[in-house]
Structures are given as C-alpha cells and as structure tokens.
Amino acid sequence: MPGMPTDGGGAMVPFSGEPGQASPAPPPVRHIRHCVAPPISRVFISWSSGNLLQVACLRQPSSEGRGGVEEVGGRVVEVNLGAGGCGGVEVDEEIDAAEIRRIEYGSVPAFALLQSRKNALTEAAAMSHAPSLSEHAEWWQYVLEYSKTIGNLLGNPDSPPAFTLEDPKTILKVGEKPTSLRAAWELLEMFFVDKQLQGWLPECLVDWLDDFDSLLSKESTVYSNLSSFQKKLIKLQIVEDDPDYWNGLAAALSVGWLDIVFSLYFHQTENGLVEAVAVLVSTMPRMRPDLPSGKLGQCCKTRPDFIKVLYKTEVSYLYLQAWEKWRGQVNKLECSAFWIQCGHRKTRDGLKKLLHILMGNVKELTAATSHWLELFVSHFLYIRPFTVGFEGMHHLAQKCIELKPSSGTNGLTDLLVGILSENPEVVLAECTNNFGPWFVTHAMELLTADNDYADMMLHEERPKFGGISIEELHRIVYAQVLCSHSLTWQVSFCLKSCNFGHLIRVCEQTLEICRLYELENVSTNIMKISGIYHWKHGRKGDGVYWFQQAHDKVRLDRIAQQLFERIGKSVTDDSFKQWEGLLELLGSDIGSAGGLEFLHRYVFLPANSCLFMAFGFTFFPITFWYRDFKRSLQQAQEGRTGEAARQTAEFLIQVELLNCKPKPLLNVAETTLLLNKLQELSLAKLHPDFSSNHLPSHALNTVRLALASNLARAILEE
C-alpha cells in the first residue's frame, strides 16, 4: 500500500531496476529531517514549484493528551532536487544556470517574431496558393535575422574587451570567452541559413575556426600550442633560434591566422627572404567577397552585381587567375638563389617550412596542425580552395580524421561531421545530445529554413510519439525544462499544470497566461483553487474575492451560510467591524455570483434581525434594503397575520436610519400604517402566547420614535 512506511531499512518504496538490466545504478537517496516523532502514519508527496518536492509527514492523531506536552502532529518539508536548467552535458560545464536562463528569456521575442512571421506567410500562402514556406524569397532572410539575434545572445567572440593594452608580446587576441553554444549555432547558420555564404563556405570555416579553435580540445590545438608559446615568448631573446617559434608560425599559417603570423614575424631579424615570405603571405588570394579589417590576404574584388548574376563562374574564374599567379610567385621564391645566401640555418629551414605550407605540402600541413579540423581547414586554404560541395567536404573530413586520429571528438566536431554528411537526423541528434533542449528547440528553425527534407522530417506526425511531430516533441521537452524552474516557468509556451505551493502572485501570472491563450475554464479553476487556498489560510476576504471572480456560486452559498450562522450566534459591534471587508465584497451587486442576493433567503429568519442593526445601514445597498422593506410593508398592509407585523417591526429596528436621511423614506400613510402595526405588535407582546425574544422593548421604542420623526418630516414635506 503506498504511503505506508515499512519497518525494514526505512525505505518507503522498494526500488527495483528496470527488467532486463543487469545491475541498475543505485537510486539517489536523500535524507529528510522532518523532526516528527515516530510512528508516522502517513506521508504525502507532491511537487511544488520548480524542482521543489513537498513531503508531508503526519502522525496518527493521539486521542488522549500527554500531560500537556504539545507534540508535533506532522510537518511539511521541502526538498530541493538539484539545480534545473539545461540538460546538456557540455553546456553545464561552461555556462551557469543564470546565464542559461538569460538566454532562455532573451530568445523569446525573436522566437515569437519568427513564429508570427511564419504563420503570416503560411496563411498568405494558403490564400493565394503560393509556394511553400521555404520557397518564399523573404523567408530565409527572416530566419537569418532570427539567427543573428539568437547568435548575439550566445556571446559575441568578436567584441573587443573594454581595455586593450597593446603588448607586442601578446599574439593571441583577448576577447569574450567563446562558448560551444555560439560555435554550434554559427555552424548551423553557416550551412543551413545564410545563402549569401554559400560560395564562401571554406573561408567561413576558416573564420569559424579562428573564433572557436580553443573549444575543440583542451590539449592539442593550434590555439593551445600558441598560448603556451606566448608564455615562453616573453623570456626569449633571439626567437629564430627556438624551434617552437617556427612551429608556432607554421601552425598559425596553416590555419590561416595571418595576423598572428605577422605579429610573430616582427620578433625576428629582418632579411630579404623573411620579407619576401611576408609579402607572399599578405597577398594570398582569399576565396571570399570581403575581409574584416585587420585580416590579411587579397579577397576577390568584384562588383556587387557580379556576385548575384555571374557568381559561380565569374568569381571562380577571377579567383583562379589570382591563385595561379600567386602560386607562381611562391614557386619562384622556392627556386630562387637567395636561399643559399641565408646563413642562419634555423631561419632558412623555418622559412622553407612556411613556404611549403603556402605551396600546399600535405606533409607539412599535417605536421603543423594538431586537430583534424585544423588540418581540414588548412586543406581549403592551400590545397583545394575550390572544394565547396558537401560531398567533397565530407570525404575530406573523413580523410583528415584518419590522418589525425588522436584528436578525438566532441560535440562540435560531431555536429560538423553530421552537417557535412547531409543528414538532418544526425544533426538533430548531435544537437540534442550535446547542447540541450533550448538549443534544439531554437535550432530546428535553422534546419528547416531551406531544407525540405528536414522540414518534412520535423513536422511529420509520428504515431510513435502519440501523433505529435518531432518538432512538437522537442518543444514540449523544452517547455518541461522551463517549467521545472520557478523563475522560468511562465516562459513555457505550453501551459502545463501549475501548482500553488507558493502563491507569490503566481496566481495572477497564471491567469495572465490563461487570458493570453483564451483558456477561460482553466482560469476559472485556478481562481477557485486560489479561493480555497486563501479561505483555508484564514484570509476569508481574499477567498470570497476569488470565488466571486470564478463565479463559484456553490462555494459562495456555503460561505454565506457559515457567515450567517456565525452572526446569529454572537453579535457585538467589534466583531461586525471585522466583517466589513467581506460584507463590502458580498454587498456589491455582482449579479448571480455571490452578491448579497443570498441574504433574501435569510432575511426573515429571526436570527438575522439584528444583522441590520449591527452592520449599519451603510453596508447594505439602499436598493436592496428598500426593496425588501417595501415588500414587507406590503405584507403588513395586507395585515394578514401578526407574524407579518413582527417581521415588519424587525425591519424597522433599524429605522433609526430613517433619521439619517435628509428626506423621509416613507410617506404619511405608510408611516401611520406602520405605527399602527407597531402598536399591534407591542400589544401582542403582552399576550402570554407570544414568544419572541428578538424584539426587545427598547428596540420597539426606538422604532416608534424614529417613525414618529419620519411622520413629522413626511407631513412637513407634503
């Protein structure tokens, strides 16, 4: 039976591993300090907000008191089940939870904008039988805009630090620390979204590696080699004597970091050969439309309209020409006689090595680079600058992995291989495994931007997932992650079950979500729950307020009954003052849902006669009061029973209030009639059979006096 503690070992529920698994990992055990003395009869467990679990431990209520010693009957303990946030393994290491939340918040507007644009385009397409979404001219630009916004959110590796001291010994740039999320996002943007980049993919990868090389591996990358050499550089006197200097130069050159090559170059003694190599490096043709300032090389200078029209052929042709010419110059230098004149052997060998890299010597490139991805990029720079097809790139990647098997894999390289293999399933799986639910949810938009197969794969309804698509599945997973944290739960696009452990304005927030999504019945339920919560905690006014908002007639009626039973029991001025707020609520003319209308049912109960007196006139809407009064007056006029007269008098107990009004409430005839009835009543009181303790004689006297003064004013008025 669940909830019953077993005696052995203190385990609540026996844990058994999944069937078929040999040795299940032991479940994490948490100890709870509940300070409730045994025996505990019941344990309740429920989810609170975020990752909080509420555990209530209750004792059996003991029938006899234990000599005045107050024992704790039970206690509710909150258990925080670890930090929430992104589930990505790699992500957690470098970004803390607050940073992830910042990304989650920041991505909402861009995501929402893209979705609304998508809906608008889809609607327009449906109206005019226009081509599908991915064929829309603007669509990929919308996605690109979205991608750039999200990319900026993930950190900007190009942003310069606040202060830069120009230190000649600093060769590596100091910027914002690159993140895997940003690196992965840029890869997807480059290959799936940005159509302008399609001709320049190899050079894009060069730039990408420049920004994110440090993320590829902790031990062996060009970046790590250069940063360890940078430490050494400070102590070196004559750099060209050190083999690490030439290795560093070769490494930087092989991955195309020409600016670093140049900053290293300034450290050595000038000679003709050094200068000649420098010129060749700086005039290297680059297969790209432009170069950011500070970068070296010669880009293809074409007129802008060229790129659009004759993009494939003309640009390639121009580039090819420049490349052939430059290669010719490199070869010429290689064969020149200057090498014999160069006396410094290490300089000569080093420069030869650089020259061989420029000439695309596979052996030198493999030696200079550390990671297969670096080798891959160096191929584009120096061996096959024209390889742009995915298939060719994929083959090359496989070859590089074979050449540098030790470099290992990580999320980014796996993602790149997945992209090159042109397999959206693999890409999606790599994203899911490495970068967490936030990334997958937002990256799916990039995958489908211009890829019909991915679009179909993600949007196809899958019976295996209960009829939802893969896209929806990932969104639900992401929504669950958001819901599991108390600060982000309202971000979740899917409204999931909310809980009410912490009613710190949670109710209003939830109602706001309901309002936006037109979930009226959900919001009514939430209001009811909120009403019960407040009522249970003694905040009766708030409780009634929420019941009224929810139009919960049943509960309001129950409350009304309680209210009147209580008032019937004891009436003091002070206790009624406390009811003021509640009466104000109930007194408002709210229509069918819990106004004072229910009072009509109680009005003629003897216990309530004093109600009016105690509440005072002001708390009752005049219309309500007067209508009932008139009805009762009518009955009195018809004069059928002494009972009617008594009821009238009960009403009249508060006719003192007649005095408050500047105008008489009753005309002369009515007042005379009432005075007569009052006389009858006071006579009836003398009768031994009359039983009513609700009409004290002083009250009758007050009524008589008030009626008399009303009569006087009524006569004056007439």
Residues of this chain that bind other proteins (CB under 8 A):
49-50, 80, 83-84, 96-99, 101-102, 105-106, 108-109, 112, 485-487, 490-491, 504, 508-509, 512, 515-516, 534, 537-542, 544-545, 548-549, 577-582, 584-585, 588-591
Residue 41 or residue 490: which is nearer to other proteins going by CB? 490
Identify whether the C-beta of residue 286 lies closer than 8 Å to the C-beta of residue 326.
no
The CA distances from residue 84 to 80, 318, 431, in Å, are: 10, 54, 19
Shortest Å, Cβ 586 to other proteins: 9
Give 47's strand partners: 53
Residue 111 or residue 311: which is nearer to other proteins going by CB? 111
Residue position matching structure tokens 């969104």: 475
Three-state SS across 73-97? Answer: CEEEEEEECCCCCCCCHHHHHHCCH
DSSP 266: T
Residue 574 or residue 718: which is nearer to other proteins going by CB? 574
Shortest Å, Cβ 34 to other proteins: 17
Residue 223 or residue 619: which is nearer to other proteins going by CB? 619
Identify whether the C-beta of residue 171 lies closer than 8 Å to the C-beta of residue 233.
yes
Distance between CA atoms of residues 20 and 411, nearest Å: 30
Shortest Å, Cβ 137 to other proteins: 25
Distance between CA atoms of residues 318 and 296, nearest Å: 19
Shortest Å, Cβ 471 to other proteins: 22
Distance between CA atoms of residues 202 and 198, nearest Å: 9
Identify whether the C-beta of residue 143 lies closer than 8 Å to the C-beta of residue 446.
yes
Shortest Å, Cβ 575 to other proteins: 9
Residue 406 or residue 588: which is nearer to other proteins going by CB? 588
CA 137 to chain centre: 31
Shortest Å, Cβ 32 to other proteins: 16
Residue 52 or residue 172: which is nearer to other proteins going by CB? 52
Shortest Å, Cβ 616 to other proteins: 12
Three-state SS across 461-526? Answer: CEHHHCCECHHHHHHHHHHHHHHCCCCCHHHCCCCCCCCCCCCCCHHHHHHHHHHHHCCHHHHHHH
Could you tell me which of 188, 98, 206, 205 has the C-alpha nearest to residue 144? 188
| HSE-CB for 265 with a 13 A CA cutoff | 22
Residue 586 or residue 649: which is nearer to other proteins going by CB? 586
Residue 24 phi, psi dihedral angles, 5° rounding: -70, 145
Q: Which two tokens stand for residue 495?
A: 């409204």
Q: To the nearest 10°, the Cα dihedral for 492, 498, 504, 506? A: 60
Shortest Å, Cβ 109 to other proteins: 5
Distance between CA atoms of residues 258 and 296, nearest Å: 6
Residue 230 or residue 524: which is nearer to other proteins going by CB? 524
Shortest Å, Cβ 623 to other proteins: 14
Residue 606 or residue 616: which is nearer to other proteins going by CB? 616
Identify whether the C-beta of residue 287 lies closer than 8 Å to the C-beta of residue 318.
no
Residue 49 or residue 710: which is nearer to other proteins going by CB? 49
Shortest Å, Cβ 103 to other proteins: 10
